[in-house]
Amino acid sequence: MNTLRESLIPIPVAALGAWLGYLSGLPLGELIGAICLVTALSKLGVRMRMPYPFVATVQLLLGISVGAIVSASMIAQLSDLSIVVGLLICMTTQVLVGYNWLRRMERWGHIESLLGSIPGAMAAVMTVSGEEGPASGRIAFVHIVRLLALLLVVTLIAGGHADSAPPTLGTWLDYLGVIPPAIAAALSGYLLERFAVPAPYMLTGLIFTAAINVGLPQFQLHVPEPLAIVALILLGGLIGIRLKDITLRDLLRYIRAGLVVTALTFCTTLLVAFTFSQMTGKPFLALFMSWVPGGVEVMTAAALLLKLDPAFVMLNHVVRMSIIHFAPVFLPKRLLQSAQPEH
């Protein structure tokens, strides 16, 4: 009975925090509010836990959300190999510099350093970073710091536009359209889970939704915003619970680690974007906005404001997110779950 109560408490708490965060008007206020309120109550001694079915739901919604953006026209644009090569080189360099700092200077463990250095996709990382505890908490905090810092930088580059429109409910067809790939992804994900594949529902959600969008474009799958908000609430609860063991001393250390990794990621992106701009003749700012970590929607909106090529920017971020969502398949699940902090 206690386990059931501890599992149900985070949902209304995170939902209340998300609502307060939305009222604040801050970018990604819903996620930040959910994290803060769940963390605060955890610190006050309220016992909460996030059972795996909730984590699997976040994985499924994340995979479907990314897959719904993929289209046949995007696949066609990938014939320009310079885009893929540049993106892969940029992502690899971002991971290497971040990993080396966390591993050598912050004295983190191998898997912690790897997960903490992945460029963006905090939600995807947090659903495969093992159970709650100091290791998972520090990974979450570094990603939060980097997310907020990069969001601030992008907002400044885009001229201070950070308005957030109220969510739209979507039509009943939008909800019906998501059901078939969701069911197929859930069943396939369950089978992959039997073979110890990390983040199985995220992987199958992406594959089935993208396959329908590319193979049957007339259906025009869209993920209704309320479903995305549900994912944010669950994710906020998940991260908030994992931050409960962080002390003030840890807080200062992790802020430093997050800011340094963000600065290294930022400088690496500038360098690689400038190099490829000289080699390919593509606008430097377009390459930078395409390869710096950030949400697909935020970066595409910024590209529109800057009068860049929004389709090009969106393509790069969708490919980046897809790569990150596929990446856990190649990491042994036991390795992720057994990651222990090093001091």
Q: What is the token pair recorded at 109?
A: 């463990």
**Phi, psi angle pair for 309, to nearest 5°:** -90, 95
- 8 Å CB contact between 102 and 145: no
Compute the Cα dihedral for 6, 8, 13, 14 and give only its sign: positive
Where do runs of H (alpha helix) occur along the chain?
Answer: 2-8, 10-24, 29-43, 52-67, 72-77, 81-100, 110-117, 122-126, 134-157, 172-194, 200-215, 225-242, 248-280, 284-291, 296-305, 310-326, 333-337
| Average pLDDT score over residue span 62-81 | 79
Residue 1 Cα to chain centre, angstroms: 33
Locus of tokens 């036991």: 334
| Average pLDDT score over residue span 32-51 | 87
Q: What is the token pair recorded at 2?
A: 């206690």
pLDDT of residue 329: 66
Q: What domains, with CATH codes, occur in the chain?
A: 2-337 (1.20.1530)
Q: Which of 93-102, 150-159, 247-256 has the highest mean pLDDT?
A: 93-102
How far apart, in whole angstroms, are the C-alpha atoms of residue 311 and residue 62? 21
Whether 255 shows a pLDDT value over 70: the answer reads yes
3-state DSSP call for residue 160? coil
- 8 Å CB contact between 98 and 298: no
The closest of 339, 152, 158, 149 to 256, measured between CA atoms, is: 149
In tens, the pLDDT along 115-132 reads 888 887 677 777 766 554
- 8 Å CB contact between 150 and 294: yes
In tens, the pLDDT along 218-231 reads 777 878 888 888 88
| Largest CA-CA distance found in the chain, in angstroms, rounded | 63
**Which tops the pLDDT comparison, 143 or 120?**
143
> What residue type is assigned to position 117 of the chain?
S
- 8 Å CB contact between 49 and 3: yes
CA distances, 145 to each of 86, 101, 152, 171, 342 (Å): 26, 16, 11, 35, 21
- 8 Å CB contact between 9 and 48: yes
pLDDT of residue 155: 63
Q: What is the token pair recorded at 159?
A: 């001229």
How far apart, in whole angstroms, are the C-alpha atoms of residue 51 and residue 223? 24
**Mean confidence (pLDDT) of the chain:** 80
Q: Return the beta strands (E) in 78-224 as ranges.
A: none
> What residue type is assigned to position 167 of the chain?
P
Whether 163 shows a pLDDT value over 70: the answer reads no
pTM (predicted TM-score): 0.75
In tens, the pLDDT along 4-34 reads 778 888 899 999 999 998 888 776 788 889 9
The closest of 232, 214, 188, 184 to 62, measured between CA atoms, is: 232
Kindly state the DSSP code that residue 218 receives in the 8-state scheme: G
Question: What region does 170 belong to: left with phi over 0, alpha with psi -120 to 50, or beta?
Answer: left
The closest of 66, 58, 118 to 315, measured between CA atoms, is: 66
